Every structure is written in structure tokens, then in C-alpha cells.
Amino acid sequence: MKKVLVIAILFFGGIITANAQYNSFWSFNWQMSQGVGDVNEYANEFSPRGFEVEAKYFISPQIAIGGKFAWNGIYEKKTRDTYEYNENLSINSIQRRYLYSMPMMVNASWFPLEYDNENTFFPYISVGAGTIYTEQETDNGLYYSSNSQWSFAVNPEIGTIIKFGDAFGLNLKAGYTYGTFNSLEGSMDGKLPTIENYGMMNYSVGFTFMY
């Protein structure tokens, strides 16, 4: 985990050094998540557990480049059932499923309205690419399995910034993260599915500081 945080700090430090000469903003967001596809079959609960730090640096009045670092966790508790893992192992228990993700992305954003002091609403579209560090855990009482990995991912987003003053505002956005995935093995009876592709909807709200 410490290595992940060090990489994140270096990641944002490089962006700041390269683009500090442009008008920019930082956003600190609360992030909510919902699995899509294989991830939804593994854990289909809507999760409010997440945060995001994002920076954008304008290279023109309507185009910005930057990046973000986020953390989110989804969890589902299944009712007691029997899970068949192989011909010699069947477990009857309550099952708990966890998926923790930390995406680090670089992105490019387009603002239809020029980012200036005259407008209040600044809708935008972003496309990002990067990596996700993921930890997957499945707990059947005394039978516990886990897996951690780095995966490639892409992240389209749509959102808007609502300015409350010259220096701060509100950031509202929704995005979809898609990536490769190496799942834990599922059960033979199909009650514990495998994840072939990472898919996650993210909904974020937070404060933006502009300078």
C-alpha cells in the first residue's frame, strides 16, 4: 500500500511540474460506485465508500490535461448457502465479498464554454487512461481467498463545475471505468462468479479550488 501512495505522489508531482504555468484547479470529491457487468455479478451493492483527488491544467481556454487518484470499495454480504469449490470441498456459510480499487489516470478534458471569470457553469467531457490497483477478497468463514493486481483501464466522464466565486466551486460528474482483470477462481456451482473484465460506474461530488 505504501508503494501505491508513493507512486501517486510522484504521478501528481510530475503533472504539476509540467503544467504549472497554466490556469488550473484541484477537486476533492466524495465518490460513490456501482459495479457493472462481471463486477456487478460479484458484488451488486451500491457503495458510498470512496474519494477522489483530481487536477486539471488548461492548455487553452477550452482544453485541459491532468490526472486523478481515487479509492473506492464495494462490498456485498450473501445469505448462508453452500458453495462448491471442487469435488472435495463444499462450504456452507455466509459469504462476504470485497473489491477495493485505486485508479490512477491521466486525462484530457474539453469544456464547451471557455473557462473564464464570466461564466458560472462549466460542463465538460473527459477521457482518461491509466492503471488500477485492485484487491479482491472472498470470505467464507474460515475459508478465505484474496488477490491483488495492477490492471490497465480507461475512464470516460461527463460533468460540470458550478462556480460559487472566483476561487472555488462545486464539481459534479459521472464516469465509467473499464479495465482488464485477473479474477479469483469462482465456485464450480456458479454461485461465486469470476470477473473477466473490470467495469464500474462512479458518481462524484466535491469542492473545486481554482487558481
What one-character DSSP code corresponds to residue 93? E
Question: Cα 130 from chain centroid?
Answer: 11
What is the per-residue pLDDT for 144?
Answer: 85
Q: Average pLDDT per run of 10 along the chain, which is 211 residues long?
A: 49 43 82 96 95 94 94 94 85 93 96 78 95 94 89 96 87 96 86 92 95 80
Domains of the chain: 2-210 (2.40.160.20)
C-alpha cell at position 12 = 501528481
Residue with cell 463545475: 161
Alpha-carbon distance 137 to 135, whole Å? 7
What does the DSSP 8-state code read for residue 154? E
Paired strand residues for 105: 68, 130
Which among 102, 136, 101 has a CA at the least distance from the CA of 11? Answer: 102
